[in-house]
Structure 1
Amino acid sequence: MSDWQHGFYKLSPKERRQRLTTALKLPVSVTDLLSDHASDLGNQLVENYLTDYSLPEGVALKLVVNGQEYQVPMVVEEPSVIAAAANGAQRVAKSGGFTAKKQDRELVGQVVVKPRGDVSTDLTWLKQHTTTMLKTANDAHPSMQRRGGGAKSVRLRTPGDFISVDLGINVCQAMGANSVNTMAEAVGKWLRSQGFNVLCAILSNYATASLQTVTCTVAFRDLATPQMVGQKVAERIAALSNLAQADPYRSATHNKGIMNGIDAVLIASGNDWRAIEAGAHAYAARDGQYRGLSSWQVKNGQLVGRLTLPLPVGVVGGSIGLNPLTRANYQISGIKTAEELAAVTASIGLAQNLAALRALASTGIQAGHMKLQYRSLAISVGARPNEVSSVTKRLAMLDHVDRAAARRVLDEIRKD
């Protein structure tokens, strides 16, 4: 380790930036940029803090879920994500919107032990002490039980050479990771006192007791393109859905599109999008083969969509209450409960999926995607805000577009 790194974590953000600038010979412009975007809140949230790195926020309009219309804040840096979510949402809204059943809310606190001897004997002993383990967990976090939540069940599994004591914990309206970890560790400590070798005690992000299902129907007429009738588009979407169930090369991209929308909502709502991603992809492989999370089929003269995935989201806890923008986003969406957030988030994921599959089934994914990418390309070659629109329009008329073409178009506009 270099000398300049010693004690780096103990410094103030300003001192860290100064030390980094000197050690790495950074230009003043970089140091000023880091300083200009720094905040007191950021320094409280992460280690070795330097600055805040911001992402664009937009809003998907007219998302109808269970008869209620939502305007949904989304935070994402990729062009076309919000446009696709809004596009899919509006097509579904014409047929009545999305239907989402109320979500069960339970997380798993996993306490893994090595058997003391005979596995069946240990399993019998653990079953006999279920009540004690539940009480130990709830005593570690009594406020959750007072709110109607807390540890509710114990499930025993034998993965590999281990015994997993799975605590089913209702976390109410919170994301709940810290609470679950506290309760699991309390049970782990008690099991150690009973002679068990405890390997770990921690939340599992595979939240199969917090599944959210959302469904929708779309009329053929609302899928048509200038080149293809709606029924044909619907049939091709259903075929792409079947392909995503059979081929992991397709399903990986299929699910990535779904998570484009879901992640953007989770970031805007202050939730742990990494945890949801991990659980979603594990769920996609629950039967031993990785598959598409959504399914589409032509039924009764319309396209029918369905999406199910673990969504253990929260509206309190973590950094949700700390970030003023997150609080503002809840005011924009009007979302009040974790169940409501899960329903809206899953609906955005299915809307995103619909828009992507419709494009793929008809004109191809690049036609609409590149129109939005042209804006980024224009900015990257130095177009000013008042020039971006003109550059984008001219690029859309070209057969081949790259940075050289964008520079040439920008030069031509400035000469004109």
Structure 2
Amino acid sequence: MQHIIHSTMLNTSNRGDCMVTRISGFYKNSPEKRLEIIAKQLNLSTEEKNTLLGNAGLSVNVADHMVENAIGSFPIPLGIAVNFKVNEKDAFVPMATEEPSVIAAASNAAKHSAKGFFTSYTGSIMRGQIQLTNVIDPYGALARIYENKEEILHRCNAQDPTLVSLGGGAKDLDVHVIDGVAEKMVVTHLLVDTKDAMGANAVNTMAEAVAPFIEKITGGKAILRILSNLADQRIVRARGVFENPFSGDKNVQEKFIRAAELAEADPYRAATHNKGIMNGITAVALATGNDTRAVEAGAHAYASITGRYRPLSHWEIGEDDSMIGSIELPMPVGLVGGVTASHPVAKVAIKILDVESVEELAGIIASVGLAQNFAALKALAGEGIQEGHMKLHARNIAMQLGAKNDEMDKVVELAMKQGKISYDKIKEILLSLQKNNSNH
């Protein structure tokens, strides 16, 4: 079964060595102008540009092949985070999200990290679990499974010779005896290198194929045969140095660190802290057609792996009032197979990212999560989180009320000056503005 294409078969790189993502005033341009800037640097075709503009995106025919009972599609805004440099390579980062201020915050945070972000990756190992019940001698069964390891791995790899030929496949076993409510269960973990695929299909196929053999040598009954989304052997780490982000203001810097410390000590804060991180991570995962639920589940499970829910990032004060941030989490994403290969927008998003391996993709996603976290903590330590949100909230209300493009900025400006953002207030401002314009 062919679940994977090797990264060397991908041809995503279309840029020149002079690509620059630190573009002053990028947000001030129209969507069409922003797209032209991206398209010029990445040589996007007319068809690819039309796909991003919504003129040739996900058709109902394609949707019908992706999910059951399809009746259409649900568009999500797609934006570009700029200013990112990851492992000394500039990157435009596509982000799909409906939440205001997320893309702006990531872009602004990346600008503070002059040297960019640096990442490391443990590899693309995923776990497949085979649960056994009705085992008379659980610890004896555990031993017999290990005794037959080579045969188990051979049977697994026979399911996907293409993956094996590319250096992937089942590499090892990890067997556990787990206390259930009624009995001890024996759970075999298949450790599978899925290379540049997320790997769910490959892992699940192997688990199902080898389960009868494991039943035979243990005398047990196989129940679950499925991958685990706690991808603790597929860890990505990112680090960034944010240079003097508070302009020497020790008070704000102190509040930033105290806010980060609360997340370490308090799971109620840690949940919101990590949600902010996932604002960025999920947006990139979604834009590239990856399984956002798998990424989210793995991240939050990893945050709890010590037995207490903790933040995924850490912050320290460096030289010259810099802030040093680091992040560590599982990153079960892929570049081939699944939606990444079938969704027209996801394919263009991957081309924009200009990545050639899942390691590169994972590093960029983690860097965006760290940037998002920095932006949130900086806002909380300074003016508060609401200012950027409320500007976009005001814009959304004005749009709902039918404000024209040339009215939108003025409505938002007046609403922010008056310090009250509500449906009734925006309506009042818009009607007053329209009345004044009609009188002139």
Aligned ranges 1:58-69 → 2 under 5 Å = 58-69=79-90
Gaps of 5+ in 1: 1-35
Relative contact order: is structure 1 or structure 2 higher (C-alpha 8 Å, sep ≥ 6)?
2
| Residue 233 of structure 2 is aligned to residue 209 of structure 1 | yes
Of residues 355, 366, 373, the one that matches 1:335 is 355
| Residue 290 of structure 2 is aligned to residue 266 of structure 1 | no
CA distance in 1, matches of 2:222, 2:58: 45
Which residue pairs with 1:346 in the alignment? 366
| Residue 425 of structure 2 is aligned to residue 401 of structure 1 | no
Amino acid at match of 1:156: V
Which residue pairs with 1:355 in the alignment? 375
TM-score normalised by structure 2 residue count: 0.82
- Note if contact 2:83-2:108 (Cα within 8 Å) is conserved in structure 1: no
RMSD, aligned α-carbons: 1.5
- Does the residue aligned with 1:62 lie in a helix, a strand or coil? strand
CA distance in 2, matches of 1:182, 1:310: 22
Change (3 A) 1:404 1:182: same
1:291-317 CA-partner distances (Å, limit 9, x unpaired)? 111111113442111100000111001
User: Cα offset for 1:118?
Assistant: 2.1
Which residue pairs with 2:142 in the alignment? 123
Gaps of 5+ in 2: 1-56
- Note if contact 2:131-2:223 (Cα within 8 Å) is conserved in structure 1: yes
Which residue pairs with 1:134 in the alignment? 153
Amino acid at match of 1:169: V
* Paired-residue identity, %: 38
- Note if contact 1:115-1:163 (Cα within 8 Å) is conserved in structure 2: no
User: Cα offset for 1:115?
Assistant: 5.0
Of residues 47, 54, 57, the one that matches 2:78 is 57
Amino acid at match of 1:389: D
- Does the residue aligned with 1:274 lie in a helix, a strand or coil? helix
Which residue pairs with 2:94 in the alignment? 73
- Note if contact 2:139-2:177 (Cα within 8 Å) is conserved in structure 1: no
Of residues 272, 296, 305, the one that matches 1:286 is 305
Which residue pairs with 2:131 in the alignment? 112
- Note if contact 2:82-2:91 (Cα within 8 Å) is conserved in structure 1: yes
- Note if contact 2:159-2:206 (Cα within 8 Å) is conserved in structure 1: yes
Amino acid at match of 1:187: V
CA distance in 1, matches of 2:61, 2:250: 55
User: Cα offset for 1:57?
Assistant: 0.4
Which residue pairs with 2:69 in the alignment? 48
CA distance in 2, matches of 1:238, 1:157: 40
Of residues 307, 315, 323, the one that matches 2:343 is 323
Of residues 193, 207, 213, the one that matches 1:190 is 213
CA distance in 2, matches of 1:143, 1:87: 43
Which residue pairs with 1:26 in the alignment? none
Which residue pairs with 1:164 in the alignment? 187
- Does the residue aligned with 1:396 lie in a helix, a strand or coil? helix
Report the number of matched residues.
374
User: Cα offset for 1:372?
Assistant: 1.9
- Does the residue aligned with 2:420 lie in a helix, a strand or coil? coil
1:309-365 CA-partner distances (Å, limit 9, x unpaired)? 000111001111112211111221211210000000000000000001000011111
Q: Mean alpha-carbon deviation: is it higher for 342-351 or for 110-119? A: 110-119
- Note if contact 2:106-2:372 (Cα within 8 Å) is conserved in structure 1: yes
